[in-house]
Structure 1
Amino acid sequence: MDANLPLADELAALTARIADLLLTHETVDEAVSALAQSLKEAIPGTLGAGVSLMDTRGRRTSTASTDPAIVQADQFQYDLRQGPCLTAWAQRTTVVVEDSRTDNRWPAWSRAIADLPLRSVISSPLSTPDGAIGALKVYSPLPNGFDPRAIRLIELLARPAALMLANTQARDAAQRLSDGLVSILTARDAVGTASGIVMERNHVNRDQALATLISASRQRNEPLHQLARDIIAGGEL
C-alpha cells in the first residue's frame, strides 16, 4: 500500500480490495485467511497479521495467522485467557502494545512471547451492530513499530471488515443449514423407498415395514439411512 496516499484514499483502496477478497471466498475460514494476508501486506512494518472470530463466550470459531510466530502468540492468548486480542474483543476498543517487554497489562502472555520476534501490536475489534465478532491484529518485531497512521487505518478498516465477515458467516451458516436439510430429506426419501421394498417383500403395511427397518438398524448397529440405502441397492435384512 502506498504510504504517500491520503488516509481516506488509502482506506478506500484497501477496503475495496478486502471487499473483493471476502466476497469471492465461499467459506468463513477462507475469508479470514484472506483478510489476515491483506493486513500483513497493507500495514508497513508488519511482521505478520492475524484475524480471529469468536462467539459470545470468547471461544474461537475461526482463526487465521500469516506466520508461525503469530500462530504461537495468538495461541498463548487463548491458552492463558489474556492478551491484546481478547481485550480488544471484550472491550470493543483498539488495543496498542508499544513494547511487549515493558507492557504489564497481561504479564503471563508477555512472558510467554518473550522469545518470539514480536515487540509491538495493534489489535482492533471486529464490531457489528450486534456486538463484536472477533478481532484483527498486526505484529511488529520492533518496539513502537506502528505509527498513528497505521493505528487509525486498522481502526477504520475493522468496521467494514466486520460487516463483510458477518455476512460471510451468515452465508456459510445458511449453506450448512441447506446442506443439512438436503441430507435429511435424502435420508428420509431413502427410508421411505426402503420401507416400500420391505412392504413388497414381506407383505406388510408401511408401519410394520418401518418397524422392521428400525429393529434391523439397532441389531446391526447401523444408521437407519445407511441400512435403507443397502436395501435399495439390493441388500437383505
Structure 2
Amino acid sequence: MDADLPLADELAALTARLADLLLTHDTVDEAVHALAQALVEAVPGTAGAGVSLMDTRGRRTSTASTDPVVLDADQLQYDLGQGPCLTAWAQQATVNVEDTRTETRWPAWTQAIAHLPLRSVISSPLSTRDSAIGALKVYSPTPARFDARAVRMIELLAHPAALMLANALARDSAQRLSDGLIRALGDRDAVRTATGILMERFRLDRDLALATLIMTSRERHEPLHQLSREIIGGAEP
C-alpha cells in the first residue's frame, strides 16, 4: 500500500479490496487464503502472513499461510499451545512482538522458532460482536519492523475482515445444513417407501412393517436408509 496515503484512505482502499476478495470466494478456506495474501501486500516488510480460524475451544477450523516459514511458526504455536496468535485470540487483544529473541511471554515457542528467519510479529484477533473466530498475523525477519502505523492498520483491518469471514462461515454452515437436510429428507422418504413396499408385499400394517424394517437393519448391521433403498431397488428384506 502507498505509505503516503492517510491511514483512513489507505484502510478504506484496502477494505474495499478485501470485500472484493473475500465475498467472491465460494468457500471459507478460499477466503482465508485471500486474506492472508492481502495482508502481505498491505503491510510492507513482512516475511509472510497467516490467518487462523478457530472454534470456541481454540481448535483450528481453517488456516492459511503465505510462506512455508509462517506455516512452520504457526504450527509450532498450536503444537506447543502458546504463542502470539493464540494469545491474541484468547485475550481478544493485539499482540506486538518486537523481537522474538528477547520475548519472554512464550519461552517454548520462541525457543522452537529460533532457527526461523522471524524476528517481529503482529497478531490481531478476528472477532465480531458475538464471537471470537480466530486471529491474523504478519511476520518480519527484522526486529522492531512494525511501527505504530502498521499495528494500527492491522487492528483496523481485522474488524471488517472478521465480519466478512463470519459471513463466509455462515454461508458455509448454511450450505452444510441444507445438504444435510436434503440427505435427511431423502433418507426419510426412502424409509417410508420401503415400509410401504413391505406392507403391500407381506400384508402388514404400517407399524409392523416399520418394525420389521428396523429389526432387519439391526440384524444385518446395515443403516436403515441403505436397507430401504435396497428394498426399493427390488431386494428381499
Note whether the superposition's TM-score is higher than 0.5: yes
Match of 1:5 in 2: 5
The alpha-carbon deviation at position 210 of structure 1 amounts to 1.2
Match of 1:160 in 2: 160
Q: Distance in 2 between matches of 1:112 and 1:142?
A: 18
Residues 147-167 of structure 1: per-residue CA shift (max 9 Å, x gap) = 322211111100111111112
Unaligned runs of 5+ in 1: none
Q: Give, as a single letter, the amino acid of the residue that structure 1 aligns with 2:97.
A: V
Q: Give, as a single letter, the amino acid of the residue that structure 2 aligns with 1:236.
A: E
Q: Distance in 2 between matches of 1:235 and 1:48?
A: 59
* Structure 2 residue 37 is the aligned partner of structure 1 residue 48: no
Q: Distance in 2 between matches of 1:236 and 1:33?
A: 51
Identity of aligned residues (%): 76
What is the 5 A alignment of 1:41-120? 41-120=41-120
Q: Distance in 1 between matches of 2:92 and 2:210?
A: 54
Match of 1:206 in 2: 206
The alpha-carbon deviation at position 64 of structure 1 amounts to 1.5
Match of 1:130 in 2: 130
The alpha-carbon deviation at position 224 of structure 1 amounts to 0.6
Q: Distance in 1 between matches of 2:179 and 2:85?
A: 33
Q: Distance in 2 between matches of 1:139 and 1:80?
A: 19
The alpha-carbon deviation at position 56 of structure 1 amounts to 2.4
Runs of 4+ in 1 over 3 A off after TM superposition: none
The alpha-carbon deviation at position 184 of structure 1 amounts to 0.7
Q: Give, as a single letter, the amino acid of the residue that structure 2 aligns with 1:10.
A: E
TM-score (norm 1): 0.95
* Structure 2 residue 222 is the aligned partner of structure 1 residue 222: yes
Q: Give, as a single letter, the amino acid of the residue that structure 1 aligns with 2:213.
A: L
Q: Give, as a single letter, the amino acid of the residue that structure 2 aligns with 1:165.
A: L
Q: Give, as a single letter, the amino acid of the residue that structure 1 aligns with 2:149.
A: R
* Structure 2 residue 181 is the aligned partner of structure 1 residue 196: no
The alpha-carbon deviation at position 222 of structure 1 amounts to 1.1
Deviates more, 1:176-185 or 1:58-67: 58-67
SS at match of 2:208: helix
Q: Distance in 2 between matches of 1:212 and 1:110?
A: 63
User: What CA RMSD, in Å, does the superposition of the two structures yield over aligned residues?
Assistant: 1.4
TM-score (norm 2): 0.95
Match of 2:172 in 1: 172
The alpha-carbon deviation at position 42 of structure 1 amounts to 1.8
Residues 184-208 of structure 1: per-residue CA shift (max 9 Å, x gap) = 1110001111111111211212212
Deviates more, 1:151-160 or 1:54-63: 54-63
Unaligned runs of 5+ in 2: none
The alpha-carbon deviation at position 61 of structure 1 amounts to 2.1
Q: Distance in 1 between matches of 2:154 and 2:182?
A: 41
Q: Distance in 2 between matches of 1:225 and 1:197?
A: 14
Q: Distance in 2 between matches of 1:201 and 1:3?
A: 79
Match of 2:150 in 1: 150
Q: Distance in 2 between matches of 1:229 and 1:214?
A: 13
The alpha-carbon deviation at position 131 of structure 1 amounts to 3.7
Q: Distance in 1 between matches of 2:83 and 2:35?
A: 21
Residues 46-94 of structure 1: per-residue CA shift (max 9 Å, x gap) = 1111111122222222221122211111111112111111111122111
